[in-house]
Amino acid sequence: MKLFEAKPAFFALLLGHILAMEVLAWLTIYLLGPGWVPSTLAALVLATSQAQCWCLQHDLGHTSVFRKSQWNHLAQQFVMGQLKGFSAHWWNFRHFQHHAKPNIFHKDPDVTVAPVFLLGESSVEYGRKKRRYLPYNHQHLYFFLIGPPLLTLVNFEVENLAYMLVCMRWMDLLWAASFYSRFFLCYIPFYGVPGALLLFVAVRVLESHWFVWITQMNHIPKEIGHEKHRDWASSQLAATCNVEPSLFIDWFSGHLNFQIEHHLFPTMPRHNYRRVAPLVKALCAKHGLNYEVKPFLTALVDIVGSLKKSGDIWLEAYLHQ
């Protein structure tokens, strides 16, 4: 069915609209001045561009754009390094572990987040062992303070820099430096150093919200725990769910609303997920596997609900063990 063949025009448009937003944000400040309204508009446009960069570099990291792996990796270094200021090798190091063992403690870095947050089975373990580093029964509330706002700005920035230095990824460091040089050369003339830093922080915080919600809506509400030694396909389905598609949701989430299809076929170009989805759903029905699809808002609310559920389980185990 040629479902693994990418459409060059699709990905060219993705890159084009990212670059267009970068130019639009600068033109907004250049033409309208660095007031609060133009600055807010520019920050929103830049955050949208940065969020879409996450999605495009994700496609390239999975080698789903070009036929040759080397071309994908070179393009990913440009998007991740020059357009975002991060290391492509760092992302791949994290992300490939996630795909190999989704939602498995100490194997998937996306869910190995204790002691800041307790997910799934870790809530029972911490409760039984009387561990209380934070008020986990309120983690669904402090999630809004330290989860979406700070993941990209703090955790990713520190982890990314540490990875490049420890692993001596000097080329990645140069790519990242090119991003920061371009950003501050573009905006220091309008804002000065403090204002440009404030704009940078605002963009990172906004894109971090976007990144957290679209990446976790498919995983956090699912089963999270230690290795169950399932077959590969079943382990992927147990850790993922889909979100109902629409043209906007497909774009907004970078097609990660088709998380089941993405995890079963990680090198498939994302524009083909809609075509393969009915086949995957039929295969799941044939073998009695759960193929879960949620409305978008339900998926977002379920993130908070699963955090509250884990926190309540921790508290019950903590008080009654």
Domain presence at residue 157: yes
Q: Is the peptide bond before 115 cis (omega within 30 degrees of 0)?
A: yes
Q: Are 144 and 316 in contact (CB under 8 A)?
A: no
List alpha helices for 33-87, DSSP H: 36-61, 69-77
> Residue 128: CB partners within 8 Å, gap ≥ 6?
317, 321
pTM: 0.94
Contact 290, 284 (CB under 8 A): yes
| Residue 116 tokens, joined | 């800041």
Q: Is residue 245 part of a domain?
A: yes
Q: Please indicate, yes or no, if residue 272 is contained in any of the structural domains.
A: yes
Question: CA-CA distances (angstroms) from residue 205 to 202, 297, 305?
Answer: 5, 21, 23
305 within a domain of the structure (yes/no): yes
Per-residue HEC secondary structure of 264-318 comes to HCCCCCHHHHHHHHHHHHHHHHHHCCCCCEECHHHHHHHHHHHHHHHHHHHHHHH
pLDDT, averaged per 10 consecutive residues of the chain (321 residues), comes to: 96 98 98 96 98 97 96 97 97 96 94 93 92 94 94 92 96 97 97 97 96 94 92 93 97 97 97 97 95 96 96 92 65
Q: Are 85 and 242 in contact (CB under 8 A)?
A: no
Q: Kindly state whether residue 1 falls inside one of the protein's structural domains.
A: no
What are the two backbone dihedrals, phi and then psi, of residue 104, each rounded to the nearest 5 degrees? Answer: -105, 125
Total domains present in the chain: 1
| Residues 315 and 127 sit within 8 Å (Cβ to Cβ) | yes
- Alpha-carbon distance of 303 to 321, in angstroms, equals 27
DSSP at 130: T
C-alpha span between 100 and 88 (Å, rounded)? 18
- Structural domain span for residue 21: 8-320
Q: Among residues 272, 277, 279, 283, which one has the least CA distance to residue 261?
A: 277
* Whole-angstrom distance, CA of residue 85 vs CA of residue 175: 7
286, part of any domain? yes
Residue 249 lies in a domain: yes
What are the tokens at 50? Answer: 């940065």
Query: Tokens 């629409």 correspond to what residue?
Result: 246
Residue 321: its pLDDT value, please? 65
Q: Which pLDDT belongs to residue 320?
A: 85
3 falls within a domain: no
Q: How far apart are CA 80 and CA 215, in angstroms?
A: 17
